[in-house]
Amino acid sequence: MRIALGVEFDGTDFCGWQQQRTGRTVQGSLEEALTRVADHELRTVCAGRTDTGVHATGQVVHFDSLAQRDARAWIRGTNANLPADIRVQWARMVDENFHARFSARRRHYRYVILNAPCPSALLRSRSCWEYSALDATRMAEGARHLLGEHDFSSFRAAACQAKHPVRTLYQLEVLRQGNFLYIDVVANAFLHHMVRCIAGVLIRVGRGEAAPGWVAEVLAARDRTLSGVTAPAPGLYLVAVRYPERFDLPAGGWLPCYVR
């Protein structure tokens, strides 16, 4: 039996998603809890691996189990064995053709920026703090250059292991609400650090350090050294993964939205 789960977690105290020999990981904690519910060892596959400090409201995973449990049992039983910074939000029985990673058609990330003179004690691990005044209109203008299918070599980590750098961005929006800016990015898939690199470039444009057209120049150069600083991990959230309708899965998690 194959089961899909929707998972929410606070990535602050985790060494990313992927299980490691040392260090606390989301995958390791989740698999330990699921193993207790299933009464046999199992392994999970996720829609998208997240780095240290990155959060998720709409991560999707799947696993195979011989255990006969209904959705309620998987949710309640797993949550009872999880630490407080991970929670299973839903469970669905899916056919064996479903794959959390390869069946996904779109992934949605939100990057949260607190744009204020002083940092927040409460949101230090939930957002990126930027004290310089950011122009959201300029950032949105620059963002438009990244829409569509492109070679995103300028927006990938040096250690990125993807076989090719071509990705398709369906949505890239910048929204200001009070002292917060939200960057919403939807694509078919992402390169390592891609969203954080995009956020870093747009922040430079928002500060007035570069013109909106510079974003197109960075993209065309296919050179990571030109794109500037990678934005910090705490502002990044995986909020939704989209699958074909035949799998009948929930639309995604909640969008982090703060008020100050």
CATH number of 154's domain? 3.30.70.660
Terminal alpha carbon distance of the chain: 46
Note whether 34 and 119 are same-domain residues.
no
Residues 99 and 159 in one domain: no
- Percent with pLDDT over 90 in the chain: 91
Has residue 162 got a pLDDT over 90? no
Residue 70 inside a domain? The answer is yes
Q: Which of 69, 103, 137 is the last residue of a domain?
A: 103
- The pLDDT assigned to 158 comes to 75
**Does a structural domain hold residue 53?**
yes
Residue 204 binned pLDDT confidence (cut-offs 50, 70, 90): very high
Average pLDDT estimate for 128-156: 97
Least confident of 83-87, 157-161, 182-186: 157-161
The domain total for the chain is: 2
Q: Report the CATH number at residue 15.
A: 3.30.70.580
| Residue that finishes a domain, picked among 61, 79, 103 | 103
Annotated catalytic residue, options 13, 51, 151, 248: 51
Parent domain of 14: 2-103
**Domain end (from 103, 120, 149):** 103
- pLDDT of 49 > 80? The answer is yes
Distance CA 206, CA 87 (A): 35
What pairs with residue 3 in β-bridges?
A: 63, 93
Residue 87 inside a domain? The answer is yes
Q: Is 132 exposed, middle or buried (0-12, 13-18, 19+ CB in 10 A)?
A: exposed
Determine the pLDDT at residue 71. 95
Residue 48 included in any domain:
yes
Q: Are residues 201 and 117 in the same domain?
A: yes
Rounded to the nearest 5°, which phi and psi values hold at 101? Answer: -90, -55
Active-site annotation holds for 51: yes
Question: Which token pair is 106?
Answer: 């779109």
**Residue 169 backbone phi and psi in degrees, to 5:** -95, 120
Average of per-residue pLDDT across 141-164: 91
Predicted model pTM: 0.96
CA distance 102 to 40: 25
Mean pLDDT of 189-201: 96
- Dist CA 139 CA 205 (whole Å): 6
What average pLDDT is seen over the chain? 95
Q: Are residues 120 and 227 in the same domain?
A: yes
Check if the beta carbon of residue 38 is closer than 8 Å to that of residue 67.
yes
